[in-house]
A and B are shown apart, each in its own frame.
Chain A
Amino acid sequence: MAETSPGRVAPEQRETWTHNTGFILAAIGSAVGLGNIWRFPGVAYESGGGAFLIPYLVALLTAGIPILFLDYAIGHRYRGAAPLAYRRMRKGMEPLGWFQIMLSFVISVYYAAVIAWSLSYFVFAFDLRWGEDTAGFFVGEYLQVGDPEVSTTIVSAVAIPLVLVWLAVLVILALGVANGVQKVNMVFIPLLAVAFAGLVVRALTLDGAMDGLDAFFTPDWGALTDLSVWIAAYSQIFFSLSIAFGIMVTYASYQRRKANMTSSGLVVAFANSSFELLAGIGVFATLGFLAFQQNVAIDELEGLTGPILSFVTFPAVISQMPGGNIFGIVFFASLVMAGFTSLISILLGVAATVQEKFGLSRRAAAISVSAVCAVISIGLFSTTSGLLALDTVDQFANNVGIVLSAILMTVLVVWVVRKGELLRSHLNAVSTFPLGRWWLALLGIVSPVFLLVMLGQKLVSLIQDGYEGLPAWYIGVFGWGTIAFVSVMAVVLAALPWKGRDEPDFRPWPALEEEHRS
């Protein structure tokens, strides 16, 4: 690194966002991902339509934003990726940081595969290569899905874009926070907003679009007394905001010392929800057109969420649309941009952790993390058993892993380590949106209660009903095995000696009353 003025070298150089807008756009890039486009519209439609707005906003205000602020506070005060930040909070907390980073690692490995699919479909859109039978094309011709087994047959059509995705990740991570991550988001996020807004405008001019919107917004007030609708709202907010698995801890750790954390967080949270609403309008206007073409009602359509929406239902609509290939190109480009900015955020935490724990340089960390992830990703998800493995790992990593991580995080920080009040003072010292004691009540009581209900319900259903009719050994290996792997690795990695940066004289800034007492 460059020399500074003679006689005094600025200590331990940590990168930073060049300005608050860079942080905000990167955080929006992280939050706005594939789930906003393919998960929110279907979930809202199935959970009360227009009435879903109420549980959704309640979940945003009582769990989403409070946990987002907690992530920010931890990263900003303790200035490290999750393991270092938790270690600085209290040494025994390091495994929680590793649990979150291992979840990020697992998620990144399959998330990259979905971006690779989007990249392929971006190319397919030029000549509408998926043809008439879009389901058969996706599962059969493109992914070549086989039986639930461990396959070693590589599908090159998936492997090639996957390699490209990992190369792009490597370059961005090696360029660092300001020159890599921030720049990508400064370009992609405005571009994504414009591109997606264009899609929505086009979709609204299609025949049947208004029927689609009608179906989407018609409120079913009865849904409000249904517990599962509330759980769906908390889940959606929770998965969509990228909270509780270390991403936002890392991003916040690169903020300036006097950065306005809470006010920026409000912009990020509402931008994420704004994009979801936009996606809901765009997706349902398009689905309205599909229903119109097929001469059926919206509620008779199938494949309204998840990868099937993007890779089966949408291609079918695109084929029937006048000028469909342009719509398809922009749609899949939007998926790639939304997904890629999220993938980068997931991996930045992993790379920063490797850097901090093992004392590697940024480049060495970027190369080793990308290489390891790429090999696993290509080995596991570009084979003929890729789709099933992906779906199973996703189900467990998200619905069990991240929810567990959030429960541990809120309960441990507020009730065991008892840093809630300190973190509240920290955020209030640097931010212009003041947090009252209500923040601690939401974090310590409301969020964990809802998360426990979510987790309990999920565990019961997974244990009783299994998942998607897959064989028990398969769920054991790829489902429960994922959780076991993440937990064991969290303990093992935390137990390894800390070789990198963790100065014994680190003092959190600003010095606050509570710490002098302890």
Chain B
Amino acid sequence: MSTTSVVMMIVAMVVVWGGLVAAILYLRSRPEVVGGPHEDPDLVRDDEERFQQPHPYRDT
């Protein structure tokens, strides 16, 4: 392989695979919004009820 193609290969790997690793690390370090918008207690209670069911179901 020529030097330029080796360089391009490494650049592509670093950018694309590095991008994947960076995206995974970003998601892991910030998995969910802190606080976030207000959730109606009824909605939250419905969610909890659904999680007791055999399949997980959620709001519409």
Nearest-neighbour CB distance to chain A for B42, whole angstroms, equals 9
Tell me the bound Cα distance from A254 to B27 in angstroms: 19
Cβ contact within 8 Å between A12 and B36: no
Cβ contact within 8 Å between A13 and B30: no
Task: Report the nearest B residue to A510, measured CB to CB.
Answer: B37
Task: Report the nearest A residue to B38, measured CB to CB.
Answer: A510
Interface centre among B6, B26, B49, B56 (most CB of A within 10 A): B56
Cβ contact within 8 Å between B30 and A10: no
| B50 partner residues in chain A, CB cutoff 8 A | 4, 10, 13
Cβ contact within 8 Å between A260 and B46: no
Cβ contact within 8 Å between B27 and A178: no
Interface centre among A53, A213, A256, A432 (most CB of B within 10 A): A432
Cβ contact within 8 Å between A258 and B5: no
Tell me the bound Cα distance from A269 to B33 in angstroms: 21
Interface centre among B15, B57, B60 (most CB of A within 10 A): B60
> Does A50 count as interface, using CB distance less than 8 angstroms?
yes
Which of the segments A270-278, A302-310, A326-334, A409-417 contacts the partner chain? A270-278
Cβ contact within 8 Å between B59 and A257: yes
Instruction: List which B1-49 residues lie within 8 A (CB) of chain A.
Output: 1-2, 4-6, 8-9, 11-13, 15-17, 19-20, 22-24, 26-27, 30-33, 36-39, 43, 46-47, 49
Tell me the bound Cα distance from A432 to B27 in angstroms: 8
Cβ contact within 8 Å between B30 and A432: yes
Given A214-B2, A501-B60, residue A263 in contact with residue B16 (CB < 8 A) = no
Tell me the bound Cα distance from A350 to B15 in angstroms: 36
Given A217-B8, A429-B37, residue A503 in contact with residue B23 (CB < 8 A) = no
Cβ contact within 8 Å between A14 and B9: no
Which of the segments A15-23, A164-172, A469-477 contacts the partner chain? A15-23
Nearest-neighbour CB distance to chain B for A198, whole angstroms, equals 17
| A501 partner residues in chain B, CB cutoff 8 A | 60
Nearest-neighbour CB distance to chain A for B34, whole angstroms, equals 9
Cβ contact within 8 Å between B26 and A433: yes
Cβ contact within 8 Å between A15 and B11: no
> Does A1 count as interface, using CB distance less than 8 angstroms?
yes
Task: Report the nearest B residue to A24, measured CB to CB.
Answer: B27
Nearest-neighbour CB distance to chain B for A216, whole angstroms, equals 8
Task: Report the nearest B residue to A9, measured CB to CB.
Answer: B49
> Does A225 count as interface, using CB distance less than 8 angstroms?
no
Cβ contact within 8 Å between B46 and A213: no
Number of interface residues of A (CB under 8 A): 59
Given A10-B50, A429-B33, A430-B33, residue A270 in contact with residue B57 (CB < 8 A) = no
| A433 partner residues in chain B, CB cutoff 8 A | 26, 30
Nearest-neighbour CB distance to chain B for A74, whole angstroms, equals 15
Nearest-neighbour CB distance to chain A for B39, whole angstroms, equals 7
Task: Report the nearest B residue to A430, measured CB to CB.
Answer: B33
Given A50-B5, A213-B5, residue A277 in contact with residue B60 (CB < 8 A) = no
**Contacting B60 at CB < 8 Å: which of A14, A53, A264?**
A14
**Contacting B57 at CB < 8 Å: which of A13, A210, A510?**
A13
Task: Report the nearest B residue to A273, measured CB to CB.
Answer: B16
| B13 partner residues in chain A, CB cutoff 8 A | 277
**Contacting A53 at CB < 8 Å: which of B12, B22, B49, B56?**
B12
> Does A379 count as interface, using CB distance less than 8 angstroms?
no
| B5 partner residues in chain A, CB cutoff 8 A | 49-50, 213-214, 216-219
**Contacting B58 at CB < 8 Å: which of A256, A266, A267?**
A256
> Does A11 count as interface, using CB distance less than 8 angstroms?
yes
> Does A431 count as interface, using CB distance less than 8 angstroms?
yes
> Does A176 count as interface, using CB distance less than 8 angstroms?
yes
> Does A39 count as interface, using CB distance less than 8 angstroms?
no
Cβ contact within 8 Å between B55 and A274: no
| A281 partner residues in chain B, CB cutoff 8 A | 9
Nearest-neighbour CB distance to chain A for B59, whole angstroms, equals 6
Tell me the bound Cα distance from A419 to B20 in angstroms: 30
Cβ contact within 8 Å between A273 and B19: yes
Instruction: List which A195-229 residues lie within 8 A (CB) of chain B.
Output: 210-211, 213-214, 216-219
Cβ contact within 8 Å between A257 and B1: no
Nearest-neighbour CB distance to chain A for B52, whole angstroms, equals 7
Task: Report the nearest B residue to A15, measured CB to CB.
Answer: B57
Nearest-neighbour CB distance to chain B for A503, whole angstroms, equals 7
Given A10-B46, A20-B31, A260-B31, residue A50 in contact with residue B8 (CB < 8 A) = yes
| B27 partner residues in chain A, CB cutoff 8 A | 260, 263-264, 266-267, 432
Cβ contact within 8 Å between B20 and A53: no
| A49 partner residues in chain B, CB cutoff 8 A | 5, 8
6 more contacts with CB within 8 A, not counting A213-B5, A273-B16, are A10-B46, A10-B50, A218-B8, A281-B9, A430-B37, A433-B30
Can you list 21 pairs linking A and B with CB atoms under 8 Å apart?
A1-B53, A10-B49, A13-B58, A14-B57, A14-B60, A57-B15, A176-B55, A213-B9, A217-B8, A218-B4, A258-B39, A260-B31, A263-B27, A263-B30, A267-B20, A270-B16, A274-B16, A432-B27, A433-B30, A501-B60, A510-B36
Interface residues of B (CB under 8 A from A): 1-2, 4-6, 8-9, 11-13, 15-17, 19-20, 22-24, 26-27, 30-33, 36-39, 43, 46-47, 49-50, 52-60
